[in-house]
Chains A and B, each alone.
Chain A
Amino acid sequence: DQQVKQNSPSLSVQEGRISILNCDYTNSMFDYFLWYKKYPAEGPTFLISISSIKDKNEDGRFTVFLNKSAKHLSLHIVPSQPGDSAVYFCAARAGNEKLTFGTGTRLTIIP
């Protein structure tokens, strides 16, 4: 029972363009959502988060959008840079419960 789903295993984007990574969830109790970035041979690192009381959170080139009615969130990276090539995991939690992670999307930025 995958409560957090990232349906695109991989995505390729030209450098300078916008990268959009998507995530869907099924548990309506989730109230906090996070994106992690992972380089090969390293652990995930926190990137950006959003509370369910908001529909947008921005941090530099990274923006996360939350559509609660559709149970969908997305991560926008603009402009995309070669250093953004990594695996991106979305994660969600309900209250103070454990994080539930998605399966990840491998983003490749093409120079």
Chain B
Amino acid sequence: NAGVTQTPKFRILKIGQSMTLQCTQDMNHNYMYWYRQDPGMGLKLIYYSVGAGITDKGEVPNGYNVSRSTTEDFPLRLELAAPSQTSVYFCASSASRVSQETQYFGPGTRLLVL
């Protein structure tokens, strides 16, 4: 019963490097989300997807890209890493948008940009 899995758990990047944060869910959920949590702050929505092939911007999308080629996977891409992107990133999924209260979160990816 994996739920939502994220890789890697931790990564250090140099300024200007790129990387992809992986997210996979095995619950056949249509909705998937990417959040970031900065120290002392709440979770901020970066991007979300309502189904394969459909993505939309959240509250803080700048510097990120996403794709949704399958129901299961929702990778988050950082093209030119910046220190401001140092954060903990959480992926989540839900069966539908009205059931946001039952968003299932992954364990998070801690990213440090130096």
Q: Which residues of A contact B (CB under 8 A)?
A: 2, 4, 9, 32, 34, 41-46, 49, 89, 91, 93, 96, 98-104
The 8 Å CB contact of B4, one of A43, A46, A100, A101, is: A43
For A99, the closest partner residue in chain B by CB is B100
Q: Could you say which residues of chain B place their CB within 8 Å of the CB of A103? A: 40-42
With known contacts A41-B108, A98-B59, A46–B101 Cβ distance under 8 A: yes
Q: Count chain A CB atoms within 10 A of each CB in B40, B42, B48 and give the residue with the most.
A: B42
For B91, the closest partner residue in chain A by CB is A43
Q: Which residues of B contact A (CB under 8 A)?
A: 4, 40-45, 48, 58-59, 90, 92, 97-98, 100-108
With known contacts A43-B4, A98-B48, A34–B101 Cβ distance under 8 A: yes
Q: How far is the CB of B92 from chain A (nearest CB, A)?
A: 7
Given contacts A98-B59, A99-B100, A103-B41, 17 further A-B pairs with CB under 8 A are A2-B42, A34-B101, A42-B108, A43-B4, A43-B107, A46-B101, A49-B101, A89-B42, A89-B43, A96-B98, A98-B45, A98-B100, A99-B43, A101-B42, A101-B43, A101-B44, A103-B42
With known contacts A43-B106, A49-B101, A99–B40 Cβ distance under 8 A: no
